[in-house]
Amino acid sequence: MPKAPKVPQFPLNGLVGIEKPSGPTSMSIIDSIKPLLCESKFFLPPNTNNHTRADAKKMMKRKGGLKVGQGGTLDPLADGVLVLGIGRGTKHLGQFLECTKSYTTVGLLGSCTTSFDSEGEIISTAPYAHVTRETIEGVLDRFRGNIYQMPPIYSALKMDGKPLYEYARENKPLPRAIDPRAVTVSELVLEEFTPAQVVEGDGGHTYNPPVKHLSEEEVATYRKLTELTKTAASGQAEGLMDIPAADAEDKAKEDAQPGSSTVTQVKPPTFKLRMTVSSGTYVRSIVHDIGLAIGSAAHVVKLTRTRQGQFTLEPESTESTREEDFFVYDEDGPDKFDFGERKGGVISWDVMERAIKQRKAEIEEEHENEQKIAQGDVDEEELLASKPDNGKWRPKEWEREFFARFVSKD
């Protein structure tokens, strides 16, 4: 006889996956949804009645209030799976920092940047007319299995609280070695290759390289930093931190090739990769290093985390979000509910965005109603009677979606 699913007790504690959009920071995502959680009956202590928005605000601020954390941040540029821990679920987030992760990423050829992605400034440009799908596929074996890699040293690393580029500017040696990071790439597949876009809107891509370039002085600082890092690092660092040379010969090749941004304003080629990697892998470094390996340059223009542990974007969860499937009510709200087996799907950000907008509209409506009551324009009981179900609690869309995918943890 199968074991009955566990029925969680209030307040709920556990894990849930959110589909983070590109743009905001991971922390801002938490900040934007935490008010919803603090106002939801699912996260209130037992026997909590007449919980107001003011009470929820105090709950967010006070020490020991509702804890919400994330199991591995995503850069603002990145989108995809962001695992959140709620309440005692935050104690289980460590496993997601160390787990295997899957990504898809799009690299744009022709330029490398300080951050190895489109958020940085261009350090150097390189030719790309010679690059084909076969060119890229021909170097992928170098990046499969156990490899060493360096992060974008100009923008990502500090030593003794000081950015590394400051040491280069001051012409000082690095205090200690920076060893390349050993990581494992268990899957690396080229999914798409889009050739240079000859005519705007010809079916190519919509990505553009950054507008801002480093000055000659800043490029010299970067090259000096590269040499400092190689000097301080172990032998495994050789070849991991190069950038294309910006000499006259390369510049002439770039200007002569079809699709050169300096001549025809044509967009360079892109390539899309799918990969599964160990914890600590810099996806941006893989794209950057592939650009060098094919005799060009590349940086990330799109990065999506498709899987983190049990939470995945695809395939989408088929869990029901009908409230009658897992809610049983008493007069004040949910009395009990059955989570069943969780499939690890994530909640679309569209759902959470609608909830945030709905909450804002509700607050504005409440303020208007308070003014009407204070002025004697309307009776409070009349307002309550005009609400659906006479103001009784019903789960909102985000709550149904949330708990269809919620993983309860003690």
**Residues 9-49: pLDDT tens digits?**
678 899 999 999 999 999 999 999 999 998 888 887 766 66
Residue for token digits 């489109």? 118
pLDDT for res 63: 66
Range of weakest confidence among 111-115, 187-191, 353-357, 368-372: 368-372
State the sign of the Cα–Cα–Cα–Cα dihedral 70, 344, 350, 396. Answer: negative
Q: How large a percentage of the chain has pLDDT more than 90?
A: 45
Q: How large a percentage of the chain has pLDDT more than 70?
A: 71
**Residues 195-208: pLDDT tens digits?**
987 666 566 788 99
Question: Who wins on pLDDT, 232 or 400?
Answer: 400
> What confidence category does residue 342 fall into, taking pLDDT thresholds of 50, 70 and 90?
low
Which residues are known to be catalytic?
A: 75
> What confidence category does residue 390 fall into, taking pLDDT thresholds of 50, 70 and 90?
low
Question: Who wins on pLDDT, 61 or 366?
Answer: 366
**Is the per-residue pLDDT at 333 higher than 90?**
no
Query: What is the widest separation between alpha-carbon atoms in the chain?
Result: 81
**Is the per-residue pLDDT at 176 higher than 60?**
yes
Question: Who wins on pLDDT, 196 or 293?
Answer: 293
Most confident of 73-87, 304-318, 341-355, 359-373: 73-87
Going by DSSP bridges, is the β-strand pair 79-86/14-20 parallel, antiparallel, or unpaired?
A: antiparallel
What's this model's pTM, rounded to 2 decimal places?
0.83
Give me the chain's average pLDDT, please: 80
Range of weakest confidence among 117-131, 288-302, 307-321, 349-363: 307-321
> What confidence category does residue 251 fall into, taking pLDDT thresholds of 50, 70 and 90?
very low
Q: Once rounded to an integer, what is the mean pLDDT over residues 311-321?
A: 64
SS3 assignment for the chain: CCCCCCCCCCCCCEEEEEEECCCCCHHHHHHHHHHHHHHCHHHCCCCCCCCCHHHHHHHHHCCCCCCEEECCCCCCCCEEEEEEEEHHHHHHCHHHHHCCEEEEEEEEECEEECCCECCCCEEEECCCCCCCHHHHHCCHHHHCEEEEECCCHHHHCEECCEEHHHHHHCCCCCCCCCCCEEEEEEEEEEEEEECCECCCCCCCCCCCCCCCECCHHHHHHHHHHHHHHHHHCCHHHCCCCCCCCCCHHHHHHHHHCCCCCCCCCCECCEEEEEEEECCCCCHHHHHHHHHHHCCCCEEEEEEEEEEECCEECCCCCCCCCCHHHCEEECCCCEEEECCCCCCCCEECHHHHHHHHHHHHHHHHHHHHHHHHHHCCCCCHHHHHHHCHHHHCCCCCHHHHHHHHCCEECC
Going by DSSP bridges, is the β-strand pair 79-86/298-308 parallel, antiparallel, or unpaired?
A: parallel
**Residues 110-135: pLDDT tens digits?**
999 988 999 999 999 999 999 999 99
- Write out the two tokens for 392: 């009784």
**Is the per-residue pLDDT at 4 higher than 50?**
no
pLDDT for res 160: 86
Question: Who wins on pLDDT, 97 or 379?
Answer: 97
**Is the per-residue pLDDT at 225 higher than 90?**
no
Question: Who wins on pLDDT, 248 or 310?
Answer: 310
> What confidence category does residue 245 fall into, taking pLDDT thresholds of 50, 70 and 90?
low
Q: Once rounded to an integer, what is the mean pLDDT over residues 56-61?
A: 69
The answer to whether 260 touches 266, Cβ cutoff 8 Å, is yes
Residue 159's DSSP bridge partners are: 162
pLDDT for res 106: 98
Domains (ranges, CATH) in the chain?
Answer: 14-99+311-408 (no CATH), 101-305 (3.30.70.3190)
